[in-house]
Amino acid sequence: MIKFLLIGLIRDKSRSRIPVIVVSIGVALTVLMHAYITGFMGDIIEINARVTHGHLKVMTAGYSENMQQMPNDLALTDVSSLTEELRQKYAGVEWSPRIQFAGIADVPDENGETRTQGPAMGLGLDLLDPQSPERERMNLEGSLVRGSMPGKANEVLLIELFSRKLDVNPGDRITFIGSTMYGSMTIHDFTVSGTVSMGQEALDRGMIIADIGDVRIALDMENAAGEILGFFREGFYDDEIAMENAAAFNGADGGNAKDLAPVMKSLSQQGTMGSYVGMTKSWSAMISMVFIIAMSLVLWNAGLLGGMRRYGEVGIRLAMGEDKGHTYRSMIYEAVMIGLAGSVVGTVIGLFLAWLLQKYGIDISGIMQGSALMMPTVIRANINPVDYYLGFIPGLISTVVGTMLSGIGIYKRQTARLFKELEA
Amino acid sequence: MKLAIKMAYRNLVGAGLRTWLNVIVLSFSFLVIIWMKGIITGWNHQAKVDMTNWEIGEGQYWQEGYDPHDPFTFTDSHAPVPEEFLGEIERGDMEPSLIAQGTIYPQGRLQSVMIRGIDPKQTIFMLPSYKLDTLVTGAIPSIIGSGMAKNLKVNVGDRVMVQWRDADGTFDASEIFITEIFTVSVPAVDQGQIYLSLDTLRSMLGLEGEATTLTYNNSEVTRPAVEGWVHKSKTELTSAVDELIKVKTAGTSILYIILITLAMLAIFDTQVLSIFRRQKEIGTYIALGYTRRQVVGLFTVEGTMYAVLAALLSAAYGLPFLAWQAKVGWTMPVDASEFGMAIAQTLYPVYSAGLVIGTVLIITTVTALVSYWPSRRIAKMNPTEALRGKIQ
Amino acid sequence: MLAAAAMLTLQIQGQDPDDILKRVERNMSSENRVFESTMTINGAHRSRTITSRTYAEGYTKSFTEYLSPAREQGTKMLKLGNQLWIYSPSTDRIIQISGHMLRQSVMGSDLSYEDMMDDRKLTELYTAALGGDEVIGGRKTWILDLTAKVSDVSYHSMKMWVDTERYVPLKEELFGSSGQLLKRTTFEEVEQIAGRWFPMKLTYKDVLKSGDGTEFTITSVQFNQKIPDYIFTKAALKQ
């Protein structure tokens, strides 16, 4: 019977076209909305993850206590074997060692004496390897204002505003003065290869972005790193998994690790991100629920309308002696097929739209000019696994329920009046 | 027209469940949009009120060298309170604050801290500054925010060592005694700050009669420009909140669009079916002498009526809900205290007449357009064929 | 001879605190001196030892060249009055340390550059009073209470335990205006060199901070040497 109904649906476009279109649009909207709300609410999380927190972060217990002060004297050592161990244990996570540091940037004049000086923050990450996921993560190529990406040792990127303040151009030399992991003063020369604008004033105040290899030399941190950031390969933060990973990692020490022992923190366990993650979750859940309810009502209605479209046809079928139960069941099977087809098509369309919104985003930098907050200037969607099946809830269930309810009418129709109705 | 409305109403009510599903979805849209916009407005309002009450008053004067983001400026950013303002300060309408950079040593660790001196008798800020008047032997009474207390791992009654340098660069240190821990939604008032009595801090630094910022509580007063001090209006000081609100508004607008599209999908579907099923009726209208435009109008009115019914329905169940929300507020299910922005645990939505009327007007207009669109087909119908019920 | 003179003064002038302070200064400073030293800094990962050679003239001029470890080797520091320059061989740059950089710690120690910058004599900054006596490490000491007589000093008051025979401080405590103890220095291994007593080992400790402090040991010292003038020039940094 299923094959028969399917052929019917495919051949008789008037039976299937409008319902499938309506279900598809509805499902597409639901999927798009969910991906959008996740992206919009999660944007700040992802920015924070990429720039400072990672989805997971491994550091020493002492370092984690005073994270804001970037205490590199408490940095992790023997990082290569630790990273290897992490890579093996957590297959779904990409691990990238980083060093955050602070000091002074000093620009020499032609005699090599101080021309300008300013306090500087520094970020050392895997920059020179063109395959490095860090380049993409920080969107450095895309943020380039002048010059080019660092291509060889000791080439760095400078924040555009900072380079203007110091009056430095690509190709110029800057000297970094700071302290090594062991507290010695270090003086290290870098060449500015280009300038970037991060679009966040919090970052744009003054930062040097350098290759971690050079930073290790500068800060006497051979095979050491302040922190190892972990990023889920799926690309987006998942609090449950992150918390599980962190708990498993810290398990043995029960969170009472000694100063230099490594500990793992999820993004939500760092600074003020916990509250934000929590708020994001509850907002997303609430808004999604409202939408799914609304969507269900709409598709329910569509199911009812579908039943009405077929009023005449059902009448004839009953008049010809078809069993009421058979008619009812066939209507429901058809609804299942329409719901499935619409859900599949709608999910595909919704995912495509969400993908567009994820890739290109909506640029709101126009209204954000001169912003002092660490806010995204592009609103993006975030496709997550839920989006692959979420649309089926209203798409399939509501359509079927709508048909079931409207189909009850079949049982109320009296054969004697059928022809009269058909004449009318 | 009256007849059209009457007929439209009968048609809709007659359709029963189908109509009510559409109306419920539409009324949902009304309510969600008004509520969410109300929350955002309320947040904006609350953030500014909290900043006013805790941090910036109705505006401030900053000693010209002062940059709150650059602790290195604190050493030099102080000056005698300008004479022009002494009267206002005397009346309690302006509060001088002195700010210094120090080092705090919780459990032997060392951490930079911003030391703020405020008058224990001040009334401009909601800070429990009267607690600074507590008599403590061998330590300086101090109040701190709950976030800072958590960070330092201290409680009321605890002592912590603080080191500072006076105006001449001479080091000194003393224990502070925590007399009160306050909870505030403005992070700038909490994180990295300790509060001492203004007189104490002035004598600690050797800066009698000096201040870093002056906060007033009346923006109506015209004040002379004072050399060495920069005026910061409330608008300037709250611009970060405005930006945040802009982002949230832009971001949620897309949700509204999706939500309305959803509701319109239902209306559109219904309209298409109505026109398809009611060809005979349409033919009859035309046979009775209705012009095609009038018939199109009839169907448009019928569709638009969904919005009207939805507005009425939203009013029925939505008004009590919205009113209740405005009264008890929406409490975030997470701890907002350590949030990086001025956001309170409970947000009270604020609805303006403009918001409600605007939302109703926009949704009704869109509904009218969506109802009109499929009805245009009527204009192309052949009346005799329609009368015979022939599908066109 | 010197010891005899000391005994004589003691007998004539009794225990005049200002005089004690002057004699301490005379003992501890000299027209000029050249010394090699090691500094041990206890870090979280490991302790480090830095060796250096310093040329100093009075309180105002000093030139330090770091000798080891390899990372620090060749780094030079020149202090002239209240200015401080650092030369780093790896970058071949001379950098002036000024403003807020002065507050940074010297090579990770408990000392800041600023602590090294005060080029005034103790007698110019403080008035001394005798505050009792005490035996430290088997040596009899007077306790000098020093109170600032100028306003722009880093530490408002100071307590100094001075060996009654050798006029060498054995312990120093630095206080804030409120009387709060801030830093403590202990002096050990007092040796007689070229007729003067000199402590060869110093330990600095920031008492508010937990930690073991910084040890500073002089491995060799020569007084009243002929130091060529060019040493105290920026040109010497690059050599």
Contact C91 A106 (CB under 8 A): no
Highest-confidence segment of A54-58, A106-110, B308-312, C26-30 = A54-58
Pairing of strands A185-196, A173-179: antiparallel
Residue-wise pLDDT for A120-175, tens only, equals 888 999 988 888 888 888 878 877 889 999 988 899 999 888 888 888 999 999 99
DSSP strand pairing (C181-193 vs B330-331) = unpaired
- Give C157 to chain B, closest Cα distance, Å: 10
Residues of chain C contacting B103 with CB distance shorter than 8 Å: 208
CB contact under 8 A, B25 and A26: no
- Rounded CA-CA distance C161/C143 in Å is 5
CA distance C214 to C237: 26
Residue of chain C whose alpha carbon sits nearest to that of B160: C208
Query: In 10 A of CB C40, how many CB atoms?
Result: 16
Question: For residue B144, what pLDDT is reported?
Answer: 94
Nearest CB to A22; choose among B21, B32, B265: B265
Upstream peptide bond of B187 is cis (omega within 30 degrees of 0): no
CB atoms within 10 A of CB A152: 10
Of the partner residues A74, A175, A184, the one whose CB lies closest to the CB of residue C93:
A175
Give CA–CA dist A395/B383, Å, rounded.
37
A177 touches chain C (CB under 8 A): yes
Q: Which residue matches tokens 């019914």? A: B309
Whether residues C107 and A177 touch (CB distance < 8 A) is answered with no
Could you give the ipTM of this predicted complex? 0.77
Q: Give, rounded to a whole angstrom, the gap between the first and last alpha carbons of chain A.
A: 31
Q: Can you tell me the distance from the alpha carbon of C137 to that of C171, in angstroms, rounded to the nearest whole number?
A: 11
pLDDT at C10: 46
Residues of C in Cβ contact (< 8 Å) with A220: 71
- Per the prediction, chain C carries an average pLDDT of 82
- Can you tell me the distance from the alpha carbon of B310 to that of B226, in angstroms, rounded to the nearest whole number? 58
Three-state SS at A382: coil
What pLDDT tens digit does each residue of chain B (392 aa) get? 677 778 777 777 777 777 888 888 888 888 888 888 888 888 888 888 888 999 999 999 999 988 887 777 788 899 999 998 999 999 989 999 999 988 898 877 778 889 999 999 999 999 999 999 888 888 999 999 988 888 788 999 999 999 998 888 888 999 999 999 998 878 788 888 999 999 999 999 999 999 999 999 988 888 888 889 999 999 888 887 787 788 778 878 888 888 888 888 888 888 887 787 777 777 788 778 888 788 888 888 888 888 888 888 888 888 888 888 888 877 765 554 444 455 666 778 888 888 888 888 888 898 889 888 888 777 777 767 666 655 55
User: Euclidean distance between the first and final Cα of chain C, in Å?
Assistant: 41
d(CA B6, CA B10): 6
- Banded pLDDT at A21 (limits 50, 70, 90): confident
B105: which chain C residues are within 8 Å (Cβ-Cβ)? 208-209
Count other C-beta atoms under 10 Å from residue A163's C-beta: 26
pLDDT band at A373 (very low <50, low <70, confident <90, very high): very low
Dist CA A318 CA B206 (whole Å): 100
A153 lies within 8 A of chain C by CB: no
Contact A276 B32 (CB under 8 A): no
Q: What is the pLDDT of residues C148-178, one digit of tens each?
A: 998 888 889 999 999 998 889 999 999 988 8
Is the pLDDT confidence value at A7 over 50?
Answer: yes
**C201/A204: higher pLDDT:** C201
The number of beta carbons lying within 10 Å of the beta carbon of residue A386 is: 14
pLDDT in tens, C226-239: 888 888 888 888 87
Q: Which of B29, B250, B338 is facing A379, going by the closest CB pair?
A: B250
What tokens were used for B172? Answer: 């000194």
Q: Do B170 and C178 touch (CB under 8 A)?
A: no
Confidence band of C18 (pLDDT split at 50, 70, 90): confident
Give partners of A (≥3 CB pairs < 8 A). B, C
- Give residues 56 to 85 of C whose Cβ lies within 8 Å of B: none
Q: Which of A14-28, B239-253, C198-212 has the highest mean pLDDT?
A: C198-212
Q: Which helix (H) or strand (E) holds C169?
A: strand C169-175
pLDDT band at residue C9 under the 50/70/90 scheme: very low
Distance from the C209 Cα atom to the nearest Cα atom in chain A, whole angstroms: 15
CB contact under 8 A, A375 and B247: yes
Give bridge partners of residue B231 from the DSSP assignment.
B61
Query: How high is the pLDDT of residue A203?
Result: 62
A-C C-beta contacts closer than 8 Å? 71
Q: Is the pLDDT of residue A370 over 50?
A: no
CB-CB under 8 Å, A40 with B258: no
Contact between C91 and A187 using a beta-carbon 8 Å cutoff: yes
B323: left (phi over 0), alpha (psi -120 to 50) or beta: alpha
Quick one: what percent of chain A has pLDDT higher than 90? 18
Bigger pLDDT: A414 or C97?
Answer: C97
From chain A, the residues in CB contact with C72 under 8 A are 184
Residue with tokens 């508004």: B249
Answer for the pair A141, A135: CB distance below 8 angstroms, yes or no.
yes
Domain with C14 in it: what CATH number?
2.50.20.10
Each residue's pLDDT tens digit, A238-292: 888 888 888 888 876 555 557 788 889 898 888 767 777 777 777 778 888 888 8
pLDDT, mean over chain A: 81
A320-369 residue pLDDT tens: 878 888 888 888 888 888 888 889 999 999 999 988 888 887 776 655 54
Q: Is the Cβ of B379 closer than 8 Å to some Cβ of chain C? A: no
Domain count along chain C: 1
State the smallest CA–CA distance between residue C144 and chain A in angstroms: 34
Test the A interface: residue of B51, B269, B272, B363 with most A CBs within 10 Å:
B269
Q: Residue C113 pLDDT more than 80? A: no
Beta strands in C194-233 (DSSP E): 196-206, 214-223
Rounded Cα–Cα distance for residues A376 and A202 (Å): 12
CA distance A234 to A236: 6
- Other beta carbons within 10 angstroms of residue B325's beta carbon come to 18
Task: Considering only the beta carbons, identify the residue of A108, A185, A188 that sits closest to C107.
Answer: A185
Report chain B's terminal Cα–Cα distance, integer Å. 28
At residue A156, the pLDDT reads 93
Tokens of C86: 């650092």
By Cβ distance, the residue of B72, B170, B174 closest to C153 is B170
Q: Are B371 and B303 in contact (CB under 8 A)?
A: yes
Residue A380 parent element (H or E): none
Tell me whether B29 touches chain A (CB under 8 Å): yes
**Cβ neighbours of A279 in B, within 8 Å:** 332-334, 336, 339
The pLDDT, as a whole number, for residue B340 is 47
Task: Enumerate the domain spans of chain A.
Answer: 2-45+276-423, 56-236
Q: State residue B289's pLDDT score.
A: 80
Check residue A77 and give left, alpha or beta (phi > 0: left; psi -120 to 50: alpha). beta
Question: Range of C213's domain?
Answer: 2-237
Between chains, do A77 and C45 touch, taking CB under 8 Å as contact?
yes
CA A301 → CA A22, A402, B275, distances in Å? 10, 6, 16
Whether A228 has a pLDDT exceeding 90, the answer reads yes
Asked whether the beta carbons of residue C92 and residue A184 sit closer than 8 angstroms, the reply is no
**Is B236 touching A (CB cutoff 8 A)?**
no
User: Token pair for residue C104?
Assistant: 């940074």
- Closest residue in A to B237 (Cα) is A372
